[in-house]
A and B are shown apart, each in its own frame.
Chain A
Amino acid sequence: MLSIRSIALTDFGPFKDEQRIDFPAETGVSIIYGENMRGKTTLLNAIRYALFGKVIARGATQVALHQIGNWETAKEKGKYGFKVVLEFESDGSKYQLTREHKPRAGITTPQTDVDYQQDCFLRKDGSVLGPAERDYELARIMPETVSRFFLFDGELLQQYEELLRNESDMGRNIKEAIERILGVPVLTNGRTDLGEIAKDAQKRESKAAQKNQKTKALGNQHEALLKQRDGLQEETERLKKELEGLRVGKASKEEVLRKTEKTKGLLDERARLQDEIAVAETRLKEKEDKRQELLAVAWKGLLKKRIRLTLDSLEAELKSARDLYSRALISSDVALKLRTALEDGQCSTCGQELSAAAKERLSGIVSESMLAADKELLEAKIQQFESRIAALKQSEAVSNADVLQVVQDSIDDLKIKKAGSEDRYKEILDQTKDLDETELRKLYSEYDRTLIDMGLLQEGIKRQDEALKTINENIGKVEAEIAKFADADLDTERARKDLCEKLRLLFASAVDAYRERLRAKVEKDATALFRELTSEPEYSGLSINDSYGLTIIHQDGSAIPVRSAGAEHIVALSLMGALQRNAPLRGPIVMDSPFGRLDDQHTAKVVQALPSMADQVMLLVYESELDPKQARNQLEGKLRKEYSIVRRSARHSELVTTAQG
């Protein structure tokens, strides 16, 4: 079991010059207090750097190592480079691991990682190990693939949520890491080895068949099929390895994409707004053209009232002219009869003689009747009225004021919408002005490319598997044919092959059974820890899925579908504790700001549970996250030592031991 004894840093981040802290040998909790930007995460990274030569930033991305050296030392002394010496114990041996980055010969001001050379030494019980032995020892004591369960960064919590999604590549990677820490590869490697031995036995069967004249041809055929199968399997393995590489790459890309989601969202929104503005401009132009068309004839609508008044008056005049004309027509008939009576001297109706007085009266009436010339004038007047009325009726147009208003309203709406889009567009433009869009787009295009390549590989693997199935069937048929012939050598080889195959199947079943048992144990331990940590009495436990994803179960038996950041935190800590309890590989837990998302009650419960999660626990916290007095009370005898990271300047922090437990 790995136990860290001390760490010494030289010019590593804000830790200027050489600084060292010793950790107590007794089991328990050490707390390192430090406010934001003092170097808590850097200290966690110093351990990671010593063990794996890597530094991880927020967002799980690797940090360029040439940025790690202390800035003040570089500025004041022109000295670049940094070093970490980690002393630890494992399985009774004492180790001293030194990792250092220093500028290459001839480089005075290094600019990139390439300008540095890395040296790494591992002493075991006082003897320096060779590079191969060093790497083997380090991989055995603390494999990088499982380090996430020891070097715990609150920022990486979301990764554990991925476990709930069986199809997620990140979840798959974490699942594999979990199985590694739990020792599953021991069995899976055994299964693979037995598969290889079974294949060797099949080859021996071919050779044995080839030795017998009766089965020689079948032996040759068998050998050819086995070679064909080897080729297919080799290619399938290659494809699977390639797919695995892509899968790992995809998962890490997804992690980066997740961090750039907001930026990508901004760029997408910017592009969408650009389209919206362009569409609004086109529509605005259409509406404005329509409005101008309507405006060009709007004057006609304005004349409507005046035309109507004129028409009304003309129609009245026309009517009276027509009446006058009708009356004139009637009176001209009467006048004709009177003229005839005056000429004949007697009434044309009764024949009676006209008296002088009657003649005088009739002559007066006749003289008053309309003359033909007057009638013509009246006719012309009527015609004039009719033609004016017809012309005005043609000019009478309906007002388009309402339509114009509707169009104007749409123009106003479009302008408001467009202005809103333009404002937001400018805002985003400002927010993204310093952004390296090419890099981001490259990232997304690489991700898309990875998905396509993965699809192609999966299709290829599927075809290879089908071909393998066919060839295995053919091998089976040939083996059945060979089995019809009695031969002692053949029988022996066949028995060897059958035994290997049975053992392989046994291991395969054992892997499944072991996984099941492990899952059940992890679920049980995680549940116990979760119940200890949670302050919600209605939560009865956790349920585990195939990927070791944990779901909170309510006391009524139902699953809690969505959980808060705080609940996620508690579940992740429960999983970590359960894995520590079930893993053959044990080590310290180093936690960076683990209480940021937790309320006081949960913080207290987690602090109380820490000593049971691992033999050595190191907490990197700020005081408002964990009150020192509260920590002392809750941990009692299990608090071994307290340290502080003290500010000397913005680029200089110092590690100070403040209290001994």
Chain B
Amino acid sequence: MADDKKTIGLTDANKATMQRVVELAAFKLDMDAAKFAFALAVNRNCEPTQIEGAGTIWNVGSFDEGGDIKALIQNLFPNVDTPYRALESLMNVGFSILASEIKSNPSVRIEELLKQETGTR
């Protein structure tokens, strides 16, 4: 297995989006918003890609304490051999999706988006 990342982060644009999302949806932690963004990208059938220009924000040990996310990525994407790199790329993609959602509806509520994504409305 190739060397995986020990720290993960966001591009500047996605970091700004994260701050906006945290403020809008009142997430308790930035990390909670980042996990939401990752899941959103996965839900939209996005695949892990290479991401350029991501800064360092979290240590993977604290972001994924029990290693559940790593295992999940490995099970969802068996070809991925660097799950944290995949996680980083997917959360960046997720924030790009969220940025466009906010752009099209600046007063979008996270509950609405969640219902829309999971088809519970």
Contact = CB atoms under 8 A, between A and B. Distances in A.
Interface of A: 288, 291-293, 295-296, 298-307, 310, 388, 391-392, 395, 399, 401-402, 404-405, 408
A300 B39 CA distance: 7
B26 A292 contact: yes
Interface string B36-47: 101110110100
B114 A401 contact: yes
Contacts of B110: 295, 298, 404
B40 A292 contact: no
Given A292-B26, A399-B118, A401-B120, A408 B43 contact: no
B45 to A, nearest CB: 7
Interface string B70-97: 0110011010000000000000000000
A405 B72 CA distance: 27
Contacts of A408: 109, 111
A299 B118 contact: no
A-B residue pairs, 10 tightest by C-beta: A302-B39, A299-B39, A292-B28, A399-B118, A299-B35, A401-B114, A296-B32, A299-B36, A401-B115, A401-B120
**Interface residues of B: mostly helix, strand, loop or mixed?**
helix
Given A302-B40, A305-B43, A310 B75 contact: yes
Given A295-B27, A299-B38, A305 B75 contact: no
Contacts of A399: 114, 118, 120
Contacts of B72: 303, 391-392, 395
A303 B28 contact: no
The residue in A293, A303, A392 that gathers the most chain B C-beta atoms within 10 A of its C-beta is A303
Contacts of B76: 303, 306-307, 310, 392
A302 B114 contact: yes
B71 A391 contact: yes
B96 to A, nearest CB: 16
B29 interface: yes
Nearest to A408: B111
Contacts of A401: 111, 114-115, 118, 120
22 contacts: A288-B26, A291-B26, A292-B27, A295-B25, A296-B35, A299-B39, A301-B118, A302-B114, A302-B118, A306-B43, A307-B76, A391-B72, A392-B76, A399-B118, A401-B111, A401-B114, A402-B115, A402-B120, A404-B110, A404-B114, A405-B111, A405-B115
A438 B42 CA distance: 65
Contacts of B27: 292, 295-296
Interface of B: 25-29, 32, 35-36, 38-40, 42-43, 45, 68, 71-72, 75-76, 78, 109-111, 114-115, 117-120
B116 to A, nearest CB: 9
A303 B32 contact: no
A592 to B, nearest CB: 62
A304 B45 CA distance: 12
Nearest to B117: A302
A186 to B, nearest CB: 82
Contacts of A402: 115, 120
The residue in A292, A295, A302, A401 that gathers the most chain B C-beta atoms within 10 A of its C-beta is A302
B14 to A, nearest CB: 16
A310 B73 CA distance: 11
Contacts of B43: 302-303, 305-306
Contacts of B25: 295
B56 to A, nearest CB: 21
A390 to B, nearest CB: 9
A405 B26 CA distance: 14
B8 to A, nearest CB: 15
A392 B75 contact: yes
A303 B114 CA distance: 11
Contacts of A391: 71-72, 75
Contacts of A288: 26
A298 B28 contact: no
A399 B121 CA distance: 12
The residue in A291, A295, A307, A388 that gathers the most chain B C-beta atoms within 10 A of its C-beta is A295
A227 to B, nearest CB: 84
Given A305-B118, A399-B120, 7 more contacts: A295-B27, A296-B35, A298-B39, A299-B35, A392-B72, A401-B120, A408-B109
A610 B25 CA distance: 76
A156 to B, nearest CB: 59
Nearest to A390: B75
Contacts of B39: 298-303
A408 B117 CA distance: 17
Contacts of B114: 298, 301-302, 399, 401, 404
Contact of B36 (A302, A388, A395): A302
Given A302-B36, A310-B76, A404-B111, A295 B118 contact: no
A404 B27 CA distance: 12
A399 B111 CA distance: 11
A274 B111 CA distance: 31
A1 B60 CA distance: 105
Contacts of B38: 299
A288 B27 CA distance: 10
Contact of B28 (A295, A310, A388): A295
B42 A306 contact: yes
A391 B72 CA distance: 7
Nearest to A310: B76
Contacts of A299: 32, 35-36, 38-40
